Amino acid sequence: MNPAWWKEAIVYQVYPRSFKDGNGDGVGDLRGIIEKLDYIQSLGVDAVWLNPIFKSPNDDGGYDISDYYSIQPEFGTMQDFNELLAGLHQRKLKLIMDLVLNHSSDEHPWFQESRKSKDNPYRDYYFWKPGKQESPPNNWPSFFGGSAWQWDELTGEYYLHLFSRKQPDLNWENPVLRDEINKLMKFWLDKGVDGLRLDVISAISKRTDFPETDTADFNETIRKFYANGPRLKEFIKEARAKVWNHYDVMTVGEGPGITPQNSMDYLDEHHGLNMIFHFGHMFMDQGPGGRFDPIPWSMKDFKAVFKTWDDAFLEKGWGSVFLGNHDFPRMVSRWGNDHMYWNESAKLLCTLLLSMRGTPFIFMGDEIGMTNTRLDSVSESQDIETQNGWREAQKVGITESEFLKAVNYAGRDNARTPMQWNPGEQAGFTTGIPWMQLNPNYNRIHVHAQEDETNSILNYFRGMTQLRKANPVLTYGTYRPFDTGNDTLFLFFRERQQEKMLIVLNFSNQVANLPNQVIPFLTNRLIGNYPEGKSPQELQPWEARVYSCK
Ligand code: ISL
Ligand code: CA
């Protein structure tokens, strides 16, 4: 196993719109992040992943870029960006930027040109097709509801948009477009950016014959028709050879539809990405209708996801671990118990995240146990996925209260409420009116209180980052789960040469007993979310411990 900084890094994800507002207009911004650099450093993380900060009409939280070379004016200026990057580097923190290259905004000049006429030089930057009689070129559904094709009056053709109609898909078949993409990547890497998170990289190579989907299961459509296209490997290889290889850059590809089998296409050591995000656990509770069609999940399935993916990465590449991000509910609300065992289960999840094999990514606010919010009406949602989802749901007669149930469980607004800094006005996020309603629990859950309290989630998180840093076995050691059939306990070893650690996690509201086989290893506890009890074999509800077993 070759060592690399990005294998050893712990990454903190910042959703800029909701992190900290520096100028009182209610929108988080770069100056706000600069104010909080010491806080970020205090967490013991090594890198910051910033969600997109490029110029954007903000149809989809900045994932619709209209200029890849400038900063979203609401977020600040290029000077602010330079200062932020310098501030990070002074603190030995790396910066990972989020590039959206599968699609652009419809307000990008490329698309504005492309629309104009069938022979415009930019026409082939996107996918244009005539319809079939009165209907779209094929039956592909968009991620955000409705058809993935939008009719455009001007030239009488449809364009492809896997996401919103303001996010037309870029045509990577066109070598001129690929050169543009290489150029813009170089621009940011020349500035000293240390890593790239590549949005929906799984979908950049299209099946250009655009076959009809033959399944009503949305995630299956993604796997079979959108992701892992015929030229995917080639496109990644080209970007690597022409751009990434010339920098010490970490690349992490995002994308639904990546499976343990096909993930190897993305991860070739010499020609691929360094890492990918997979959604094994994230899609576990989605029914055929996708996000707003939730189904139950089990601990057995959850554990199986970690095992399957770890096996895949043993063969090739390197894993990433995350339990939540800006697209999913809050980790403590989803995998823990955010009522009775809020504190314990949040700490347990930090333990899992920071003791698993693979580079950990923690989403801002999870280090203080921020929870899901609650919408009482769909109109409160700031998310296009929810708004469009509601439009579709109405067509099939779903009531608002039914839909809200799914939204409050799985919707993306949950993760996007402003960061809770203190119990004061607007949680210290802004002096103005926040762009999105705060979670009403901000007077209870906030950074300020947890800074002062030794036993807080925040300080536990810091304890875990230190532990991971101090013990390379937690980075490079193998992952060996056992008792995998157990419905509530998550138990595993991390092992490397002479080093060995045991991690025990009780994912339940009940007291549980550890199996006899681990008793010999329960002597040297390094960290835990309860005081050490009399009987080490007994785990309290949501108890988490890490042992050294040398
Ligand atoms: O959240 C998902 C399931 O409903 C994912 O499929 C997600 O939509 C997908 O992984 C792509 O997400 C990324 O690209 C989107 C953007 O809306 C997300 O915020 C981003 O993370 C389009 O750019
Ligand atoms: Ca602002």
Last residue of a domain, one of 160, 193, 224: 160
388 Cα: distance to centroid of ligand 2 (angstroms): 27
Are both 482 and 443 inside the same structural domain? no
255 Cα: distance to centroid of ligand 1 (angstroms): 8
Nearest CA to ligand 1 atom 5: 256
Rounded alpha-carbon distances, angstroms, from residue 465 to 22, 472, 527, 536: 28, 12, 11, 24
Are both 490 and 523 inside the same structural domain? yes
Q: What is the tally of structural domains in the chain?
A: 3
pLDDT confidence of residue 315: 74
540 Cα: distance to centroid of ligand 1 (angstroms): 37
**Ligand number with the minimum distance to the CA of 218:** 1
Alpha-carbon gap, residue 271 to 240, rounded angstroms = 6
Are both 266 and 196 inside the same structural domain? yes
Nearest CA to ligand 1 atom 6: 256
Residue 394 is assigned to a structural domain of this protein:
no
pLDDT confidence of residue 415: 98
Are both 230 and 209 inside the same structural domain? yes
Are both 41 and 123 inside the same structural domain? no
pTM of this structure: 0.98
Residue 348 CA neighbour count, 13 Å, CB half: 30
Query: Would you give the DSSP letter of residue 52?
Result: P
As for ligand 1, residues whose beta carbon falls within 6 Å of it are: 60-61, 63, 100, 143, 163, 199-200, 254, 256, 290-291, 326-327
Backbone angles phi, psi at 433, to 5 degrees: -100, 120
pLDDT confidence of residue 269: 87
Residue-range definition of the domain harbouring residue 147:
109-160
Q: Tokens standing for 52?
A: 């997109």
Last residue of a domain, one of 402, 425, 457: 457
Question: Which atom of ligand 1 has the smallest separation from the CA of 277?
Answer: 10
Are both 208 and 62 inside the same structural domain? yes
Are both 318 and 259 inside the same structural domain? yes
Residue 257 is assigned to a structural domain of this protein:
yes
Are both 489 and 440 inside the same structural domain? no
22 Cα: distance to centroid of ligand 2 (angstroms): 5
Are both 495 and 541 inside the same structural domain? yes
CATH code, domain with 230: 3.20.20.80
Nearest CA to ligand 1 atom 11: 200
pLDDT confidence of residue 530: 98
pLDDT confidence of residue 533: 86
Alpha-carbon gap, residue 279 to 285, rounded angstroms = 11
CATH code, domain with 115: 3.90.400.10
| 8 is an active site residue | no
Nearest to 409 by CA among 282, 287, 326, 291: 291
Nearest CA to ligand 1 atom 21: 327
**Ligand number with the minimum distance to the CA of 61:** 1
Beta strands 157-160 and 149-152, pairing class: antiparallel
Question: Which atom of ligand 1 has the smallest separation from the CA of 283?
Answer: 3
| 199 is an active site residue | yes
Residue 468 is assigned to a structural domain of this protein:
no
Q: Tokens standing for 518?
A: 């681990």
Residue 304 is assigned to a structural domain of this protein:
yes
CATH code, domain with 485: 2.60.40.1180
Are both 26 and 153 inside the same structural domain? no
**Ligand number with the minimum distance to the CA of 197:** 1
Alpha-carbon gap, residue 532 to 545, rounded angstroms = 10
pLDDT confidence of residue 70: 98
Please tell me which residue in 199, 338, 344, 383 is annotated as part of the active site.
Answer: 199
Residue 404 is assigned to a structural domain of this protein:
no
362-405 pLDDT per residue, tens: 999 999 999 999 999 999 999 999 999 999 999 999 999 999 99
In the sheet that holds 359-363, the strands lie side by side as 275-277, 250-254, 195-199, 94-100, 47-50, 11-14, 359-363, 320-322
CB contact at 8 A, 228 and 167: no
Residue 65 CA neighbour count, 13 Å, CB half: 22
21 Cα: distance to centroid of ligand 2 (angstroms): 4
pLDDT confidence of residue 316: 79
Alpha-carbon gap, residue 266 to 375, rounded angstroms = 38
Beta strands 320-322 and 359-363, pairing class: parallel
Mutate which of 49, 143, 218, 386 to test ligand 1's pocket (most atoms within 8 Å of Cβ)? 143
* Ranges under pLDDT 50 in the chain: none
Alpha-carbon gap, residue 145 to 360, rounded angstroms = 31
- Tell me the β-bridge partners of 87: none
Residue 98 is assigned to a structural domain of this protein:
yes
pLDDT confidence of residue 289: 87
pLDDT confidence of residue 314: 84
Residue 425 is assigned to a structural domain of this protein:
yes
Question: Which atom of ligand 1 has the smallest separation from the CA of 60?
Answer: 17
Please tell me which residue in 21, 64, 80, 254 is annotated as part of the active site.
Answer: 254
Residue 100 is assigned to a structural domain of this protein:
yes
pLDDT confidence of residue 484: 82
Nearest CA to ligand 1 atom 1: 327
90-120 pLDDT per residue, tens: 999 999 999 999 999 999 999 999 999 999 9
Are both 191 and 301 inside the same structural domain? yes
**Ligand number with the minimum distance to the CA of 25:** 2
Last residue of a domain, one of 399, 428, 457: 457
pLDDT confidence of residue 550: 80
Mutate which of 98, 199, 322, 416 to test ligand 1's pocket (most atoms within 8 Å of Cβ)? 199
Nearest CA to ligand 1 atom 23: 63
Are both 115 and 89 inside the same structural domain? no
73 Cα: distance to centroid of ligand 2 (angstroms): 9
Identity of the amino acid at 447: V
Mutate which of 53, 56, 63 to test ligand 1's pocket (most atoms within 8 Å of Cβ)? 63
